[in-house]
Structure 1
Amino acid sequence: METNTKVIQKTNNNQEHNPPETPKWFPKALEHIELIAALLSGLLILITWSLESILSEPMWIFLHIIAFSIGGFAKAREGITETIRTKRLNVEMLMIFAAIGSVSIGYWTEGAILIFIFALSGALETYSMNKSNKAISSLMELQPEEATVIKNGQEQIIPVSSLKMDDVILVRAGERIPADGTVIKGSSAIDESAITGESIPVNKGNSQEVYASTVVLNGTLHVRITTKPTETLFQKIIAMVQNAQEEKSPSQLFIERFEGMYVIIVLIAVAIMMFLPFLAFGWTISESIYRAMVLLVVASPCALVASISPATLSAISNAARKGVLFKGGVHAENVSNVKAIALDKTGTLTNGKPVVTEVIIHPDFDREYIIAAAGAIENESTHPLAQAITAYSDKQLRSKPGIQVYDMKTISGNGVTAIVDNKKYEIGKPDFVGREAASKYLNGIAPELALQGQTIIFVKVDNKIVAVFALKDTIRNTTKKAIRDLKERGIQPIMLTGDNELTAKAVAEEAGIDQYIANCLPQEKLEHVKELRKKYHNIAMVGDGINDAPALATSNVGIAMGEGTDIALETSDIVLMKNDLSRITNTITLSRRMNRIIKQNIFFSLSVIIVLILTNYLQILDLPLGVIGHEGSTILVILNGLRLLK
């Protein structure tokens, strides 16, 4: 009997009942159906216009009606449905009225061209939305649907949705990890590009965290599930992108409110235009009606409405591809207004993990042996400083002497004791090994290191200090450049940290930060952020921990590091999935570019509307030019917004 069985059900005899395979081009065609309809409408208009001399009048009108129907169906349905739902007129209804008005005065071709260009601009706007939605659909495709669970020594393949906390799953090389968890057996390089965007694999082994939808490259892992499949980091990323696309910016909300009122004003102006020039200025009734129809076309706010949404969606999509997640259009717009940025130290400016920067061994003792002994003792502790010393020992010593550790004890908050080669080792703070002896060790070298903001750990053997380890939470590789770039953009960086004054000063100087506030408790960080808002008006807060959450929520724009805690990710407005601070300056640049393009679009669209209205009133503009000028401006502002995809 086999020890491992896989619960897989395959039905090979059902193949004849399967429906015929859908052609690969079909979904692509459906995706662009609006654009295809618009282009088909335009082609039909061109054919009808070119054959005008040989077509009978009924056939000529019939072909125009077909062109109207094909090109205008999507927008007409959208406009009517929206009007019924909101009980308000919209720009789509205005264009329907304009097309009907053109036909009513005999301008069939102009009305059809109006619908064609309006449909084309709508298709381009839909294209920009689809382009942004691909950020979600591509993420969804990365989610595994099945997982191999190990129960009672047997492998069972079950749906990912059926996974429970503490289940143990098997993930082989080439497979995606189905849920967040901790490695309990095995090691492998992991492709985490789906989470962080980084192409370089990360080596993961025992007790290390792994994330859903990342790929195991060259080993087999046993992973204990630590998060529900519906609450994984990957699921949170998808939710963030979805929310970002649904939430509208202040500018967009204003335009949408303005649109309804503007449509009513245009319709009133058209009604007046039909009769006032005839009654007051001696125009013929046909000229008044004609000019009213031209006004209906050129005064429609199509370009104005399309000035914001494509640009905002393109910017959000662009940022998402680079590992920066906006939680809404409002944040994409607001981040460009930031005047100062408050930054947490640990895990934000720094890597969040201490490393040994210097080891000074007493000349009477063997350096390699002391480092090996300290590493072996600290290997039995879970304290971050202990792990840093063990990591240093493993890295520095190629061949380690055989060290046997006995009677290892942790003295909470102070250090550890152990027996090695019948000698008592004490490793810990100055007070633990004797402050006076520690301060005099090797002519007072330890206090000098402490002044540099480093944490000092002493090694004492049988009542004699034999070594000092200096440890420091090193700043990220990207920190200095990020701070320099912020300053160049006129944005003031301020460090907020719970560390002591010496450590804070050392990190601030190394990072290039001029202002810092040390010894901050979470509540004090919140108060400092409030004070900074009063001083700078618009500030961002960057953090990664639970203690940063109140400050993130209070700032104008909260930015969380992707490796941060769940509460920091949920409280923030923007997430840096790559933990790369330089992405902040890129994001601010993208936001400023987006706002600049939106302003360009609004100014251009309003200018075109004003010029077209004036030239129509002066009887210079005719309907064909009005159609081309107005709808052409709509296409131009959409294309201008799509530039943000690059």
Structure 2
Amino acid sequence: MSEKLTTPPPVPTENDEAENGAETKKKKNKNEKTNEAEEIVRFSPDTNTGLTDEQAALRMEQGLNNSEPKKYSKTYGSIFFGNICTFFNFLCLMATVALILAHAPLSQFTFVVIFCCNIIVAIVQEIRAKIKIDKLSILSAPTAKVLRNGKKREIPVSEIVLDDIIFLSAGQQIPADCIMASGSGDVNEALLTGESVPIKKSEGDALLAGSFVTGGHLIARVDKIGTDTYINRLTARAKKYKRPNSEIINSIYLFIKLIGLMIVPVAIFMFFTNLKAEGIVWADIEARGGFMKILLSSNTFDSVIQKTFSVVIGMVPSGLLLLTTVALSVGMIRLAKYNTLVQDMYSLEMLARVNVLCLDKTGTITDGRMKVSDCVLLNNPTDYTVDDILGSMLASLDDNNQTSIALYERFGHSSALQSTAQIPFSSVRKLSAVSFGDIGTFAMGAPEFVLKPMPSRVEKLVKQYAQMGLRVLVLAHSPTQIIGEKLPVIFRPVAIITLSDNIRPDAIDTIRWFKQNDVAVKVISGDNPVTVSEVARRAGIVNASQFISLEGLSPLEVETAANEYTVFGRVTPEQKAILIRSIKKAGNTVAMTGDGVNDILAMKEADCAVSVASGSEAARNVSNLVLQDNNFASMPKIVNEGRRVINNIKNSASLYIMKTLLTLILAVVCITTSSQYFFTTNNMILYEVLISAVPSFVLSLQPNTSRVKGKFIPFVISRALPGALTMALGIIALYTINLSPLATLFNYTTASGEVISLYEPMLILCLTFTGLVMLLRICQPLNLIRAVLFAFCAAACVTVLAVPVLGELVYEGWSELHFNATQILLIVVIVQAAMPVSSGLIKFFDMFNPAEDEPVSTVRYSSSAAAGYTADYDYYGGAGSNYASSAANGKGGAYKRTEEATAPSAQPADDSSADTENKTAASTGGLRAKMSGWKKKFGKKK
């Protein structure tokens, strides 16, 4: 049988088409257009025969097989091209060639090493990102069983075709989106939806690729394959490469672009200014055979070229990118000690700026396990204790889920009763039952499924427990037996058992640390929001009572709720991404933790994504950080390390920007006065190495754990510009003296009686020692390491200048120079004036420097979140019923607990774990005391 239909493309999100491009539902035949949906023939194979070989071959020819999606990462060629063929690399190459032609000494080529290091580091980082993206894969099933021509075959999943009949059993991963044809079983879709409870599947139900069969045997027809499956559409966006969202890196590139706009006109002006200062005019160039002939033969022209490109190289903060990448790399190495794998070094900056942390409940706040918090006896018609009854039921049922494990840990197994019939737990029935001969049948599960109708007193008790965020089970008895799969009709309540999520021992301290460090914590979960809210309260999350269910809400409603609430329940993958995007739009820097496929869209949207080693491969691959020991408690150390690195980069970067601004200021002075530029590249080698490069790397390793605030460029310029102006004023002072009658102060008479000017060497001394003064200011406040650093740099500068052979690296002929007392005194006066001048300039610029940006508040306090609450509780792994009207017009719910109707916030985050548990226990005890007239506590196990 076959039928014709046109199937439109499934769209995971509203923005999917805009982001991924318009893709048609089915692959196209070779001779058909690729931009229109293709009308294809759908087969309806029998579950006893499957597709024929001819039909399967036709599907393969049409390209309708379960092939891997296309890669979205950059090619190796584009990575190399993009990082090598840049504007500044072109300038570097041009400067290198020009300096070679100008017979520059080897000491003037140190900038080439820095540029090469920048290129290598950038290429390595992008290749690492490409490898990570190319490995991103959700489906791990290598083969699948299909039915072809009435025979079962095991084939690679890539050879599954549209409309194939496939066989699935417990433990297998579903390789493609399918429709159940026959059979029944349970499927765990936690990786896709975040819902940890297995879902019962029957004929006609959808099976999503990437989910796992946890029980039963299923026969299914393949409905969507390859790129059309839900999971591959979901991950296609995660596979797309995007440059790191680093404020520092983006600011550095912006600064470099601004410098790039100025560098060419400044270089051209400086070239002609230097020519004029040397007495060379255009007529002389033509008379002497042209530009190239002079370039290759004239020593004067060599000086012009060297000084011109000294401006070009001086304006480029070439070491700034290298400083950033090296400092981040050291941070990555240090984080490895905390069992943290950093997959994107630039994410450390975003982590340092984080002021909103979005968590999933399971694995971060809780450890995924549950524990029995209470058991209240209502009415036991037998002579056996509740411990005997539950122990015998657990021994008979042999269930293996978190609820049954928690029950086993509390009640164990018992042989007190011998079962005669069992009905295991099912996500459809929401209960399990066991018959014990003449004793009758005991059922355990969600109260509304076990007790029909539910007694009013039990309903009241269940509601009160549920409001505490506890999962509620009821144990009930019937005197009749299980017949086949048919349960007794009437059950009477025996006991109520409550279970709570097990809070991780370190979660409360970790969340307290985030609160103390101005980081708001939000919880985003696929679970019931009431339960999640209670867990969040017990963990000490501020405003945990502000919770909402996103089930059925529109994207606009989700966006509105993002900054109104702290706890979000029943959240889909698309809604998670909307939440993160909306919180970011409010001006926040957001970190997101996740472990499943359902988290990857939100993790990709977050500024910094954190996963755990035990999470899905997809979540690990899109994350920036992976907690190798699955320990959320290491997050404060990770954040502190990020803060240390980024704060120190901001402080150290001012040394590089100071050189750029100084070069620009001096170039403007030379152009306006038609003077030759003051330095060649080797004249500035002491400044480049001992005042800029070495101190910046040492300072980048200093402790600094304050939260990163403010914009990079205003912060750095406000600290670099005063220093640049101070050094420029010293150099301009010497320049002014050289133009005046006092220029004789620079004269030096050699042994042969020749009088030479020490003007240029004096400029080098001025630059070096005023630079040391600026370094001393940047090292404030001094500690042992900074004091030793400054002492080392100062001693090294003095040594180089004092040793004639070393001085030749700075200035050709330095070994023959001698400075008199007047010249040394002049330098001392300029250096002495540098400190108060820089202080005055700093105070002046502080008046115009705006205060650093503060984080935008993400939680608005309100006295009432809703008129009522909707309790869509999970019991025994299943969904419960609604106990009150929804506050969101039936679309989900904005909730608030009745006992917290006037409280603006939840339990303070600085409560200890013990205090939190005691308060919960006290609340439970008070509830039980109210009901003392009609219930009694069960006794110890016999």
> What's the TM-score once normalised by structure 2's chain length?
0.43
- In the alignment, the residues of structure 2 paired with residue 166 and residue 372 of structure 1 have an alpha-carbon distance, to the nearest angstrom, of 42
SS in 1 for 2:103: coil
Structure 1 vs Structure 2 CA RMSD: 6.2
* Letter of the structure 1 residue corresponding to residue 514 of structure 2: L
Instruction: Report the more deviating stretch, 264-273 or 249-258.
Output: 249-258
- In the alignment, the residues of structure 2 paired with residue 408 and residue 517 of structure 1 have an alpha-carbon distance, to the nearest angstrom, of 36
SS in 2 for 1:94: helix
Residue 605 in structure 1 maps to residue 625 in structure 2: no
Change (3 A) 1:600 1:510: same
* Letter of the structure 2 residue corresponding to residue 402 of structure 1: Q
Change (3 A) 1:248 1:641: farther
- In the alignment, the residues of structure 2 paired with residue 241 and residue 310 of structure 1 have an alpha-carbon distance, to the nearest angstrom, of 27
Aligned ranges 1:290-439 → 2 under 5 Å:
290-306=306-322, 308=324, 322=340, 333-341=349-357, 343=359, 345=361, 349-350=365-366, 355-360=371-376, 362=380, 364-372=383-391, 374-375=393-394, 388-389=403-404, 392-393=407-408, 396-397=412-413, 399=415, 401-405=417-421, 419-422=435-438, 423-427=440-444, 428-429=446-447, 432=452, 434-435=454-455, 438=458
Residue 562 in structure 1 maps to residue 595 in structure 2: yes
Question: Does the 8 A contact of 2:274 with 2:304 survive in 1?
Answer: yes
Question: Does the 8 A contact of 1:166 with 1:224 survive in 2?
Answer: yes
Residue 624 in structure 1 maps to residue 682 in structure 2: yes
Question: Does the 8 A contact of 1:298 with 1:612 survive in 2?
Answer: yes
SS in 2 for 1:517: coil
- In the alignment, the residues of structure 2 paired with residue 244 and residue 321 of structure 1 have an alpha-carbon distance, to the nearest angstrom, of 26
**Hey, what does 1:91 align to over in structure 2?**
88
**Hey, what does 2:913 align to over in structure 1?**
none
- In the alignment, the residues of structure 2 paired with residue 612 and residue 601 of structure 1 have an alpha-carbon distance, to the nearest angstrom, of 18
- In the alignment, the residues of structure 1 paired with residue 476 and residue 459 of structure 2 have an alpha-carbon distance, to the nearest angstrom, of 13
Task: Provide the identity percentage.
Answer: 14
Deviation at 1:157, TM superposition (A): 6.3
- In the alignment, the residues of structure 1 paired with residue 561 and residue 507 of structure 2 have an alpha-carbon distance, to the nearest angstrom, of 22
Aligned ranges 1:174-573 → 2 under 5 Å:
243=240, 246-276=243-273, 279=276, 287-306=303-322, 308=324, 322=340, 333-341=349-357, 343=359, 345=361, 349-350=365-366, 355-360=371-376, 362=380, 364-372=383-391, 374-375=393-394, 388-389=403-404, 392-393=407-408, 396-397=412-413, 399=415, 401-405=417-421, 419-422=435-438, 423-427=440-444, 428-429=446-447, 432=452, 434-435=454-455, 438=458, 453-462=469-478, 465-494=493-522, 506-518=534-546, 520-522=548-550, 523=553, 526-531=559-564, 545-546=572-573, 548-556=576-584, 557=590, 559-563=592-596, 565=598, 569=602, 572-573=605-606
Deviation at 1:357, TM superposition (A): 3.5
**Hey, what does 1:192 align to over in structure 2?**
none
Residue deviations 1:314-361, cap 9 Å, x none?
8799799946777x96x6644433334455656763456755334455
Aligned ranges 1:633-644 → 2 under 5 Å:
none
* Letter of the structure 2 residue corresponding to residue 491 of structure 1: V
- In the alignment, the residues of structure 2 paired with residue 314 and residue 236 of structure 1 have an alpha-carbon distance, to the nearest angstrom, of 37
**Hey, what does 2:611 align to over in structure 1?**
576
Deviation at 1:544, TM superposition (A): 6.9
SS in 2 for 1:276: helix
* Letter of the structure 2 residue corresponding to residue 551 of structure 1: L
- In the alignment, the residues of structure 2 paired with residue 631 and residue 141 of structure 1 have an alpha-carbon distance, to the nearest angstrom, of 46
Residue deviations 1:272-295, cap 9 Å, x none?
223436657989876555422322
- In the alignment, the residues of structure 2 paired with residue 142 and residue 438 of structure 1 have an alpha-carbon distance, to the nearest angstrom, of 45
- In the alignment, the residues of structure 1 paired with residue 408 and residue 272 of structure 2 have an alpha-carbon distance, to the nearest angstrom, of 92
Deviation at 1:564, TM superposition (A): 5.8
Deviation at 1:432, TM superposition (A): 4.5
Question: Does the 8 A contact of 2:360 with 2:594 survive in 1?
Answer: no
Question: Does the 8 A contact of 2:547 with 2:568 survive in 1?
Answer: no
Aligned residues: 517
SS in 2 for 1:555: helix
Deviation at 1:515, TM superposition (A): 1.9
Deviation at 1:482, TM superposition (A): 2.8
Residue 103 in structure 1 maps to residue 100 in structure 2: yes
Question: Does the 8 A contact of 1:333 with 1:591 survive in 2?
Answer: yes
Change (3 A) 1:409 1:639: closer
- In the alignment, the residues of structure 2 paired with residue 259 and residue 426 of structure 1 have an alpha-carbon distance, to the nearest angstrom, of 72
Question: Does the 8 A contact of 2:359 with 2:594 survive in 1?
Answer: no
Q: Which has the larger radius of gyration?
A: 2
Question: Does the 8 A contact of 1:410 with 1:417 survive in 2?
Answer: no
- In the alignment, the residues of structure 1 paired with residue 236 and residue 112 of structure 2 have an alpha-carbon distance, to the nearest angstrom, of 36
Residue deviations 1:504-558, cap 9 Å, x none?
67534421223213551215765343247xxxxxx99999754645423322236
- In the alignment, the residues of structure 2 paired with residue 398 and residue 588 of structure 1 have an alpha-carbon distance, to the nearest angstrom, of 49
Question: Does the 8 A contact of 1:270 with 1:295 survive in 2?
Answer: yes
SS in 1 for 2:562: helix
SS in 2 for 1:388: helix
- In the alignment, the residues of structure 1 paired with residue 510 and residue 581 of structure 2 have an alpha-carbon distance, to the nearest angstrom, of 23
* Letter of the structure 2 residue corresponding to residue 429 of structure 1: P
**Hey, what does 2:850 align to over in structure 1?**
none
- In the alignment, the residues of structure 2 paired with residue 609 and residue 166 of structure 1 have an alpha-carbon distance, to the nearest angstrom, of 68
Question: Does the 8 A contact of 1:454 with 1:471 survive in 2?
Answer: yes
Deviation at 1:118, TM superposition (A): 3.4
Deviation at 1:603, TM superposition (A): 1.8
- In the alignment, the residues of structure 2 paired with residue 541 and residue 642 of structure 1 have an alpha-carbon distance, to the nearest angstrom, of 39
Residue deviations 1:23-48, cap 9 Å, x none?
xxxxxxxx9xxxxxxxxxxxxxxxxx
Residue deviations 1:588-638, cap 9 Å, x none?
445434533542453232123345677997977443354686599679979
- In the alignment, the residues of structure 1 paired with residue 662 and residue 535 of structure 2 have an alpha-carbon distance, to the nearest angstrom, of 58
Richer in helix (by share): 1
Which stretches in structure 1 are left out of the alignment for 5+ residues? 1-30, 32-73, 83-89, 183-194, 196-206, 215-221, 533-538
- In the alignment, the residues of structure 2 paired with residue 458 and residue 464 of structure 1 have an alpha-carbon distance, to the nearest angstrom, of 10
SS in 1 for 2:563: helix
Deviation at 1:486, TM superposition (A): 1.2
Residue 596 in structure 1 maps to residue 647 in structure 2: yes
* Letter of the structure 2 residue corresponding to residue 604 of structure 1: L
* Letter of the structure 2 residue corresponding to residue 561 of structure 1: G
- In the alignment, the residues of structure 2 paired with residue 145 and residue 496 of structure 1 have an alpha-carbon distance, to the nearest angstrom, of 29
- In the alignment, the residues of structure 1 paired with residue 139 and residue 262 of structure 2 have an alpha-carbon distance, to the nearest angstrom, of 50
> What's the TM-score once normalised by structure 1's chain length?
0.58
- In the alignment, the residues of structure 1 paired with residue 678 and residue 250 of structure 2 have an alpha-carbon distance, to the nearest angstrom, of 35
- In the alignment, the residues of structure 2 paired with residue 637 and residue 543 of structure 1 have an alpha-carbon distance, to the nearest angstrom, of 49
- In the alignment, the residues of structure 2 paired with residue 433 and residue 143 of structure 1 have an alpha-carbon distance, to the nearest angstrom, of 44
Deviation at 1:470, TM superposition (A): 1.5
